[in-house]
Structures are given as C-alpha cells and as structure tokens.
Chain A
Amino acid sequence: MKLSNLAIIFLIIIFPIIVVLSEYINNRIEIATTELEYNTKLIDATYDAIKAYQINTVNNAFGDVTNSKISDIEDAVNVFFNSLTNSFNYTGYKASIMKQYVPAIGFTLYDGYYIYSPFENKLTGVDIDAKDSDGNPINYDQGYSKPEEITNGLKPYVYYSVRYINTSENWDFVITYTLDNYITIQGNIGLNNYVYDCGYLYSVDTPTGIRKDVNDVYIFDGIEFRESDTEELKEYVGTQEYSYAKINGKKYYLEENENDFFDYDDGNGGKRINKKARFFYIDNSGQKNYSQIAKYDDTKNTEYDRNKEFIKYYLAIKYNKSAYIYYKRAYEFSKAVLGSAVNNYKDKAGKTQSGYNLSNLNHNQCEYYDTGTRTENLKKSGITPLSEYGDSFNIFAGDMHLADSNFNKHRKAIIRYVIETNMSTAISGFSSSVNKNLKERDIGYIQYIMPKISETDWDIIQNNVCAIAFLQGLKIGTKNYNGYSVVANMLTKEYIDENDIYILKNDNTYCKANDSTLDASNIKPKTTGNNYYPGIWKINFERLKYVKEDGTEVYYYPTGAGLLGSYTSIMGSYKVNEIGNDMYSYIHNQNDNTLKKAYYMALGRERWCSYNVNNINYELHGNNRNEFFLDDY
C-alpha cells in the first residue's frame, strides 16, 4: 500500500475522532463559562434585592414593624425577579418562567427568617365562588391564588428556637436565639413555673462581666454606668437640629419654639420641664407628625395622665439614661438566668421570679441534639448535626457576649440547623408539588435539591441579616444549573452589631472604633453643648428624606453634613487595627477609657432603644408599648 493511501486512511479515521473530541471540549468549556455567568447574575440579582430592602427599611419609620417588614421583603423579592429577568432577557426568559427556576429565597432576620417560595394551594372546604350582592367574593380572593394552583408567597416566620426538656429539673422551655447575645425564654422552668423573659446575656459579678457596685452603679470592663450620667442626643431634621430620643425603635424629636419652664422633682435631683415643648416623629410620608404625644395641659397637675406621659418623654429626651438601663437590665436578666435573681425581679409577663438557675444547661440537652443513627441520617440529608459542634458543654459558661464563647457556638449551631432543615424541606416539598403535573409545566421535570452552602457563607448567615437565593434547573449544555447566592445586608436596622458603632473625632470626622488614629486626645468630648458620648450607630450617618409642610422634599444627613467619614477607616481602610475575635475583645484590650466609655455607652444606648416586639407585653403595657421604655423616667 502506498504511503499516501495510508495517510488518507489515517485521516479518515482520525479526523472524525478529532472533531468529536473538539466538540466535547468546546461543550464543556461552554457549560463552565455559562455556569460562571449565571453565578454572577444570581449574585447581582440578590444584591439588588438586598439594596431595595435596605433603602425601604432605612427610610421607613415603621420598618421594624412586622407588617411593614413583610411588605419590604415582598418588594425586595419583586426587585430580585425583575433583576434576574433583565439579566436573562436576551435568552428570552420571562419573569413568570424565571419563577419556576427559583425554588426558594430566604431572608434571614434578627431572630428568625422568612422563606419566599412557591407553594401549592391546598385549600379545601371553602366555597370560593360565593359572592355577595355586589358581586364581590365573600370567602376568597381568587386574584391572589386558586386552589391547586402554584402561588408564590412568604411562608410563616421561622424563629431560631429550640426546646429544652429535662424531667428531673422540671424543665420544658424554648429559647429563641438571635444574631447577638439576646435571647427569649418561654416555658416551664421548675414545677408549675411558667416563664416569659428576654434580654441580653453577660456573665455577672465577674471581672469580665457586668458587676453591680454600691449605689446602683453598674460596671462593665472597668467603665461605670450611673443613673445620673445622662445624655441629650441631637440630630438634624432637614436643616434644623433637635434633641431627640429613640424609644422602641422610633425617634421622637423635641421642638421648643416657646419656653415656659417649671421645676419637676423626679427624685433624682430635680429637673426643668418646658410646658410649651412639642414632640414629633417623622412618619411614613416623611413629614413631622405631632399626633402621638399630647401637649402639656396647664389646667391639670403633673399627675394627670397626659401630663405624666408628656413629662416622661421630655425627661427621656433631655436626660436620656438608656445606656444605664441597658446594663442594669442585662445584669438583672443574666443574673436570673444563671442563678438567683435580684430582689423583686419580674419577668416580661410581670411575674415575680426568684431565678432560673440555668448555668448548667448543656448543649446536648436541646431537642435537636443527635446521637447514633440520627447523626448519620442527618449527614446523609446534607444537614450539619449539632454534635459536630461538640458533645457536651454548658451553654451559659463564661462570657456569653464573646465570639469564642460556648453560647455563641451553640447559637450558631441552632441557627444553622433551623435554616438547613426548614430550607431543605421547603425545597424538596416544592420539588414534589410542582413536578406532579408535568403537562402544565412549561419547562418539564426538574429535580430541586438544596445545594451545599460553603462554610464562608454560613459564617455570613449566622452573623448577619442576609438574603439567600437559589436558582436551579436552567439548562446549560448537558446538565442543569444548581446554584445559590448569599448577600449580607450591612445596613440593617434589625439589630445593633458591635461593629456598627462609629466614634466622633474633634476634627468633625467619624471613624470606626478600631481606627488606629483614635486616642483620648482626639475623641470628641462630652460637653454642655454636645451633651452625649461620641459614639453613634452607623445608620445615623445615612442620608434621609424629609417632606416639608409645603410638600418640598429635602435630603439631609441626621448627624449633619459637616461630619465626614474618615479616610483612615470609613472611606478608606489603611489605618484600621485587626480586632481579633470580636469588637468586645478589641475594646477590652485598649488602654483608653475615653474610647471604652464612648463605645459602651453608644452600644448600650442604641440597643436599649431599638424595636423588639418580644420586649413588650401587651397585657401589662397595652398597645402603647413605649410605656415599657419610659418606665424608668
């Protein structure tokens, strides 16, 4: 055979093989490239959703209230789908089609989370067609959903809760955890002793915890908190500066256009009250609202209910002792949890308690703790068992506010377990529901499963308010895309993170607490003119909108346009110290008591004033839950 014939035969054999291999490689490359592209689009859409949620909640006076929060989350979800649809527009995907590829979106909040997920409407036993004489549906709004239809909506809120049962101790209670050291306890502790209590946890009467000294002075990390050490906070609304106090998450401003002072004895040295003062807050429409607190009635005495309320608000603004109350209440709550309560201690239901004595509560006593085959089954299901965090340790041992404490380890374990189990159930439940009726589905059968979330992302979820979005089933070559994204909301009103306290400097800049340029000489002092400690929550530096009476919109900075972010730690970051485990540890290691005082006062003040529905007992304090916060005035 001639060489040339051999060559031709070789080509005939090899060429198709080369073509097929080449196509295969190109196909794999295209799949990988498309997967990368989808990852980026998913992260961008999730970020857009978080940004929308941020903007809505920061500017919303009622952003903490549940109904308002649900509305803000639903708006954020709409933004997510709009953004995702726009990203995929070129391939022809419509919004309604995209929803079929998103089995769930999770919004983790301070003490639990919502899942936005398609669900199958299984309503039965209701006449959905019944109408009244005007033709309006009586029982059912078919515009929202129809029976047996797949509908998208927010599922009920899931708390980071876990039950503890110990028959020998007569324990059967639930603890709800949060993103920091705040907990809520509900249930029976001891025989026939129902408890409903909540608060921040610290170690007590230890060198590293909160101590109580004589004369009701509370000491934390060498800093004393006295009832007489009050503040008068000030910030701008538009171009005018007002004194204010945040009560139950809402800011109340003091307007003193006229003066008529009288002396009032509050049992703490006497105070001057201005009868002509008025109080307002910025409502949802962005305008000043004076309706909540009645004016002082000069025809009545100070014991008249409306005057008492007036006086309390005035004192709360002019002589703000929120920081003191925070450490006092934290001390009392922690003492009750760990052992014996202080004299006349009452829980949030108003019941006198002698103490819960939970210092020996163990990690393995919670309902979710696993042993034996249960551990293996959980791992096979892709759920991290609690035993992975340790076999046996006391949850409330040591300094519970620190990142490396047993409490924090247990808290993170519970949060992860609750999210993994419920999210996994929601996704697989959705999978079986939607795949039941394939003829009606535009996109055919898709197996939805919960992807494995990385440890970095779990760290973000366990310590921040986040959005977790899943995108599954899109065809990329020969396989289906299965991805997720986690984006943290770093500008949240949900809670006060230890890292979110900024410090004011003499040069009219603000910086992070771990800015290396901070020292006692350049921290703004508390003076008569600026009668507050120079620690500010970072949300207060965001631009807000105010609507004047004539309808003009004004954008303003509450702390004033003159205060600028430092280039060492806010706009830039070239002079920040590493904080190590957590901000508490960093502040503890500073030798500067000026910085410590400013930081701890701000942290305590902001946390005590923030909105928390668990704090308030309606039977005791009625619908005006502010009474709880004004009790100490």
Chain B
Amino acid sequence: MKLSSNLGSAVVEIIIVVLVAGIMVGVPLLITAKGTDDAAKLAVQTAITNFTNKVKTTGVLKQEDYDNLVLELEATGNAYNTEITVQKLDENPAKKSSDSKGSGIYYTMFDTQVKESLPLKLKEGDTITVSAIMKGKNWVESIAGFLAGNAEKDKIVAQESAMITGNPVE
C-alpha cells in the first residue's frame, strides 16, 4: 500500500513539475512573442501607410520607394508579399455622357501590371490600395493554429487605400 501511494504522489509530482515548467517557459514565451508579433504588425502597418501617403501626395509610385517598402517589411523578420492595385480614373465617359453631370469610370491595374510599369505616374482622382500579406505563419501563430486546429495560411496583415491628391511634378 505504501509503495502505491508513494508511486501516486511521484506521478503527481512529475505532472506538477511538467506543468510548472511549461508555465515558467511557455507563458512568458507566448506573451513576449505576441508582443513581438504586435510590434511587427505595427511596423508593417506603418510602412504601408507611409508608402501609401507618399504616393497619395506626390502622385508617383517610384521603384525606389517600392524597394524600400519591401526592405522595411523584411526587416520585421517575417516574410510578406505586397499587392498593389491601382484604379485609374477615366474622365472621358463624363464628356460623352448626355447627362450634364456625368461622371468618369475607373479601370483597374492589377499588381503585376503595376509593378511592371514602375515608375508609375498617377493623377488626381486615381486610387491606390496597398496590402501586405504574410506568407505562411510565424511560429506563434503556428502553435496557436495547431492548438485551435486552424489551417488558415497567408493572411492580409496590413492594408491601406488612398485617393491621389496631387499630380506628379514632372
């Protein structure tokens, strides 16, 4: 009897030790990692917003600005894809419209077209949408996903849209 009770208390002790070790290591790790992850997301949002605002006010999407954006995103330590969509305002239909207050239409330039056309000059009224999409998951999300059974991949972590307010200084 004494042997079985000793064995029982040893098992409990082992379980407690494992639990405590897990808490001592795991909890600070997860919390710190979440903070790091939040800081990384902020850095991504800041980079995307600043890039979009610059294009908004200058009217030009330059290769060097795009390259700097990519470098800033990589500096967060995660892998991102950037997607840029431009909607160009065509005011000619407004002139052809019989309605005295006709409006223009937008036609879209998708990511590949945009990146092949750099430097791209935009005009007042065009719109731009810039997204940062994280490739896969970072290890925090991997653990969280594993625990929750979540198989989601490649999500948009930051996005910014703007209407161009200035025409490019030629």
A573 near B123 with CB under 8 A, answer: yes
A11 near B24 with CB under 8 A, answer: yes
In A92-107, the 8 Å CB interface with B consists of none
- The stretch from B51-59, B68-76, B144-152 touching chain A is B51-59
A87 to B63, CA, bound (A): 32
A11 to B26, CA, bound (A): 12
A11 near B58 with CB under 8 A, answer: no
A475 to B170, CA, bound (A): 39
B92 near A565 with CB under 8 A, answer: yes
Residues of B close to A486: CB separation below 8 A: 57
Is residue A228 contacting chain B, with contact meaning CB distance below 8 A? no
From the candidates A18, A459, A464, A512, name the one contacting B31 in the complex (CB within 8 A).
A18
Residues of B close to A29: CB separation below 8 A: 38-39, 42
A14 to B23, CA, bound (A): 11
A486 to B24, CA, bound (A): 51
A29 to B91, CA, bound (A): 41
A40 to B21, CA, bound (A): 46
B53 near A39 with CB under 8 A, answer: yes
State how many angstroms separate the Cβ of B14 from the closest Cβ of chain A: 10
State how many angstroms separate the Cβ of A31 from the closest Cβ of chain B: 10
A18 near B42 with CB under 8 A, answer: no
- Tell me which of B13, B35, B39 has the highest count of chain A C-beta atoms within 10 A of its own C-beta: B35
State how many angstroms separate the Cβ of A250 from the closest Cβ of chain B: 25
Residues of A close to B31: CB separation below 8 A: 18, 22
State how many angstroms separate the Cβ of A512 from the closest Cβ of chain B: 8
Is residue B155 contacting chain A, with contact meaning CB distance below 8 A? no
Is residue B89 contacting chain A, with contact meaning CB distance below 8 A? yes
Is residue A488 contacting chain B, with contact meaning CB distance below 8 A? yes
Is residue A214 contacting chain B, with contact meaning CB distance below 8 A? no
From the candidates A3, A36, A459, A583, name the one contacting B46 in the complex (CB within 8 A).
A36
A554 to B101, CA, bound (A): 9
B46 near A32 with CB under 8 A, answer: yes
- The stretch from B77-85, B114-122, B135-143 touching chain A is B114-122
Is residue A55 contacting chain B, with contact meaning CB distance below 8 A? no
Residues of B close to A14: CB separation below 8 A: 24, 28
Is residue A150 contacting chain B, with contact meaning CB distance below 8 A? no
A555 near B165 with CB under 8 A, answer: no
A83 to B17, CA, bound (A): 60
Is residue B20 contacting chain A, with contact meaning CB distance below 8 A? yes
Number of interface residues, chain A, beta carbon within 8 A: 57
A40 near B23 with CB under 8 A, answer: no
Number of interface residues, chain B, beta carbon within 8 A: 46
In A567-594, the 8 Å CB interface with B consists of 567, 570-574, 576, 579, 583
State how many angstroms separate the Cβ of B9 from the closest Cβ of chain A: 12
In A1-36, the 8 Å CB interface with B consists of 3-4, 7-8, 10-11, 14-15, 18, 21-22, 25-26, 28-29, 32-33, 36
State how many angstroms separate the Cβ of A328 from the closest Cβ of chain B: 28
Is residue B167 contacting chain A, with contact meaning CB distance below 8 A? yes
A571 near B90 with CB under 8 A, answer: yes
A557 to B88, CA, bound (A): 21
A225 to B56, CA, bound (A): 40
A352 to B17, CA, bound (A): 103
State how many angstroms separate the Cβ of B50 from the closest Cβ of chain A: 8
State how many angstroms separate the Cβ of A8 from the closest Cβ of chain B: 8
Given that A7-B20, A32-B46, A499-B170 are contacting pairs, would A487 and B91 also be in contact in the complex, using a CB cutoff of 8 Å? no
In B3-46, the 8 Å CB interface with A consists of 13, 16-17, 20-21, 23-24, 27-28, 31-32, 34-35, 38-39, 42, 45-46
Is residue A446 contacting chain B, with contact meaning CB distance below 8 A? no
Is residue A620 contacting chain B, with contact meaning CB distance below 8 A? no
B124 near A490 with CB under 8 A, answer: yes
A7 near B23 with CB under 8 A, answer: yes
A459 near B88 with CB under 8 A, answer: no
A25 near B39 with CB under 8 A, answer: yes
From the candidates B49, B89, B90, B123, name the one contacting A39 in the complex (CB within 8 A).
B49
B165 near A10 with CB under 8 A, answer: no
A565 to B124, CA, bound (A): 14
Residues of B close to A39: CB separation below 8 A: 49, 53
From the candidates B46, B56, B165, B167, name the one contacting A50 in the complex (CB within 8 A).
B165
From the candidates B17, B35, B91, B92, name the one contacting A3 in the complex (CB within 8 A).
B17
* Contact code string A29-56 (vs B, CB < 8 Å = 1, else 0): 1001100100110010001001000000
B100 near A554 with CB under 8 A, answer: yes
B170 near A564 with CB under 8 A, answer: no
Given that A25-B38, A40-B49, A43-B57 are contacting pairs, would A7 and B24 also be in contact in the complex, using a CB cutoff of 8 Å? yes
A179 to B45, CA, bound (A): 36
B56 near A571 with CB under 8 A, answer: no
Is residue B169 contacting chain A, with contact meaning CB distance below 8 A? yes
B35 near A571 with CB under 8 A, answer: no
Is residue B153 contacting chain A, with contact meaning CB distance below 8 A? no
A8 to chain B: closest residue by CB: B20
Residues of B close to A459: CB separation below 8 A: 169
A570 to B88, CA, bound (A): 11
From the candidates A11, A554, A571, A583, name the one contacting B23 in the complex (CB within 8 A).
A11
State how many angstroms separate the Cβ of B25 from the closest Cβ of chain A: 11
In A457-493, the 8 Å CB interface with B consists of 457, 459-460, 463-464, 485-488, 490-491
Interface residues of A (CB under 8 A from B): 3-4, 7-8, 10-11, 14-15, 18, 21-22, 25-26, 28-29, 32-33, 36, 39-40, 43, 47, 50, 456-457, 459-460, 463-464, 485-488, 490-491, 499, 512, 514, 543, 553-555, 557, 561-565, 567, 570-574, 576, 579, 583
Identify the 8 closest CB pairs spanning chains A and B, nearest first: A7-B20, A573-B121, A490-B167, A555-B100, A25-B35, A47-B165, A564-B92, A561-B95
- Add 7 more A-B contacts to A26-B35, A29-B42 (CB < 8 A): A22-B31, A25-B38, A43-B56, A488-B167, A555-B101, A565-B92, A573-B121
